[in-house]
Structure 1
Amino acid sequence: MSRFLKKFMVLSSVFLLAACQDSADAESEKPEEEVATEDDTEKKDETVDATTEATTEGAYIRNTELEWSAQPELGLVKGDYYSTKERFRQGHEGTFELVQSDNEIVHVQFDEQTRPNYYNRFYQDVPKRLSEYNFDMGDKKGAAWIESVVLVEDQMLEEQRVTGDFDVVSGASNSIEQSMLPLAEKIDEMRSQPTSESYYGIAEDLGNGLTAYLKVILDGDTITEVRYDEIFADDPKDIEDPKLKPFYRQSKYESVSYDEPYRIGFNVQMDALNEKVVETQDLLDLSELPAIDETGDYKSAGFTVRNDSCDNYLALAEKIQDELKADGHL
């Protein structure tokens, strides 16, 4: 072996030993690895859960920059009733109602039903006010249909007029100009004459992010219409049931995608209620209506348990019945 090769091997061994020693020294100076304690694990789990909850709720909050309230005025409202409806704009149907008491406007409300041949099948013949329609319109146009409607209604009540110029939300004014205001002008003319119709409306907070609303219309002493609905909170954070959070600012009756847990559409149940009360003239008789008993047999009866909304309705109906008696209608 050459002297050069021997010298190279000796030097390599020296460098290798030095490197190993440095590595050992570095390892000995390395701090001991931290062992996760039970408390740390719980904190980590809490962080994950909080993040998941925030993400889940965030998915429900569409158009956070769009603001409107879907809530009716709490308490009892009653008075002389005026209403009119008309189809416009290729078949959309607008409805405007006004209630006045002692010549004071105490309630105005406008709604619109989409045309039956609407280009999107999901929204054919669907009410706009308390349905998903507002969110989809907001996604596409940056403004929801309901925003201008509520804004104009508030001005009408505050200024005690239903005609003239009103502030509107840019991008959500077509229905105001083409339907709401023309109908309001007709109502204003009707107000110059006495009406035989009366309005009784009541709304109460049910808790858990839900508001109950009942409207009863009479012509003279005859009940001609009964409409009951339950409206979800304006903010999904106020709705306790995670499955119901997506329906914020909507109602059980008008929402297109709401699944009624009692296995018969909420709108179908409430339409049946309206028909029965108009026929019997009894606000408290729910016999033979769907989802009023606990049959436990969906196959034969179409529902399984009594709908809690029946009892919510009865609580409000009893209060309105007391008002009707006090006012001499019953």
Structure 2
Amino acid sequence: MKKLILGLFAALVLVGCSNENSKAEPANEPKAKKKVVQEDGHDYQYDVVTSATTSTFGTKPDAKLTPEQKEKQMFWSVQPPIGVVKGHYYKNEGLFDGGNKGILELVTDDDGKLIHVEFNEFASENYYEPKYANASKRLSDYAFFQATNTRTDDTLVTWVNGITFLEGQMLQENRLDGNFETVKGSSNSARNGMMPLAAAMKDWVKKPFGFYYYGIAEPLGNGSTARLQVVTKDGKITQVAYDEIFADRKTDITDATLQNFYRQSKYYSLDYERETGDHFVETVDKITHQALKSQDLLRAEKQDSETYTNYMRLAEKLQTEMK
């Protein structure tokens, strides 16, 4: 979520070292094993390790694949969970690896079982590629930027692959601490950012803190998914976030002029507004601000826009869940 609840919990300042895939010290490289996992209906074949891998950051080896070959072989998903998710809410955040900001959000049921795990990262203010400074690595085109680098010719993975793989383990194993497998070639954020934040929360989830999460996501039928998320504290709305996320495949997006935004969201895309003229962020900020101020998801000034219509459809359903 872009609007952070400042002061919800004390932020952890995490100092990590960049340790991914360097061939300078092969003797220290952990042994990887092949693993096939299924996420979002897609089969992934990963090289996984149980400790940090060394870094090829800053290198640009000779290309082994054409862009067309990589597009066919690489896949990652940015889709939210479809349907309604409700439960006790916890959030932790912190800086790591030179100023990148990690945000981990958890939702548990009444028995303390994890039912939703989501990690987001925003690149540092002085990120080496200026376009991505302060940008969402999950929902902008950042993963495509990674995919164009020849360093990923061998691994065929991006930031998103490494994070969704770890999120899946935490959910399946219902734990936040201890060692986890990570994807070789995409383990920095997982090990230096997400895992320390999660470990610090292991005791938090043993009891409710008074924060409750309501989330809903539904396909819009045009190749994008609408998502509305609300957090309450002792019944009072403290956070409202709305977004529309484009499909993982170009061909699923009905408007050909929008197909280049696949695997991005309208809110976090760095190019969507500039290229389409759609003031999506401004519209959403206005709607969610009114909902937060009025403490009513449906009390938003009527607008003649598709964004408003889509938001209201989800808001009506979610408000019912909140009663």
Q: TM-score, normalised by structure 1?
A: 0.72
Instruction: State the 1:226 CA deviation.
Output: 0.6
Instruction: State the 1:324 CA deviation.
Output: 1.1
2:26 matched to which residue of 1? none
CA contact (8 A) 1:112 1:129 kept: yes
Change (3 A) 1:238 1:264: closer
1:122 matched to which residue of 2? 131
Distance 1:221 1:138 in 2: 43
CA contact (8 A) 1:60 1:245 kept: no
Is residue 2:188 matched to residue 1:174?
A: yes
2:120 to 81, 95, 111: 111
1:65 matched to which residue of 2? 73
Is residue 2:314 matched to residue 1:316?
A: yes
Distance 1:212 1:60 in 2: 30
Which protein has greater RCO, CA pairs closer than 8 Å, 6+ apart? 2
Instruction: State the 1:153 CA deviation.
Output: 0.7
1:158 counterpart SS class: helix
1:177 counterpart SS class: helix
| Greater fraction of residues in helix | 1
Distance 1:262 1:223 in 2: 32
Is residue 2:261 matched to residue 1:247?
A: yes
| Greater fraction of residues in strand | 2
CA contact (8 A) 2:246 2:262 kept: yes
2:93 matched to which residue of 1? 85
Distance 2:94 2:106 in 1: 15
Change (3 A) 1:261 1:115: closer
Q: How does 1:178-189 map to 2 (within 5 A)?
A: 178-189=192-203
1:98 to 106, 130, 134: 106
Q: Deviations over 1:208-251 (max 9, x none)?
A: 21111110000111101111111111111111111111111111
The AA in structure 2 aligned to 1:114 is A
The AA in structure 2 aligned to 1:170 is K
Distance 1:272 1:260 in 2: 19
Is residue 2:217 matched to residue 1:209?
A: no
Name which one, 1 or 2, has greater alpha-carbon Rg: 1
Instruction: State the 1:92 CA deviation.
Output: 0.9
Q: Deviations over 1:143-163 (max 9, x none)?
A: 211101001111111111122
CA contact (8 A) 1:203 1:212 kept: yes
1:25 matched to which residue of 2? none
User: Which consecutive unaligned segments of at least 5 residues does structure 2 have?
Assistant: 1-65
CA contact (8 A) 2:98 2:124 kept: yes
The AA in structure 2 aligned to 1:97 is E
User: For structure 1, which segment, 154-163 or 107-116, has the greater mean C-alpha deviation from structure 2 after superposition?
Assistant: 154-163
1:135 to 133, 144, 156: 144
CA RMSD of aligned residues (A): 2.0
Distance 1:274 1:88 in 2: 30
2:75 counterpart SS class: coil
Distance 1:307 1:155 in 2: 40
The AA in structure 2 aligned to 1:314 is M
Aligned residue pairs total: 252
The AA in structure 1 aligned to 2:85 is V
CA contact (8 A) 1:85 1:95 kept: yes
User: For structure 1, which segment, 277-286 or 213-222, has the greater mean C-alpha deviation from structure 2 after superposition?
Assistant: 277-286
Q: TM-score, normalised by structure 2?
A: 0.74
1:226 counterpart SS class: strand
Q: Deviations over 1:59-91 (max 9, x none)?
A: 999632222221111110000000011112211
Instruction: State the 1:192 CA deviation.
Output: 2.7
Is residue 2:248 matched to residue 1:234?
A: yes
CA contact (8 A) 1:130 1:249 kept: yes
Distance 2:209 2:174 in 1: 19
Change (3 A) 1:285 1:262: farther
Distance 2:317 2:274 in 1: 26
CA contact (8 A) 2:226 2:245 kept: yes
1:74 matched to which residue of 2? 82
Identity rate of aligned residues, in percent? Answer: 40
1:307 matched to which residue of 2? 305
Distance 1:265 1:156 in 2: 37
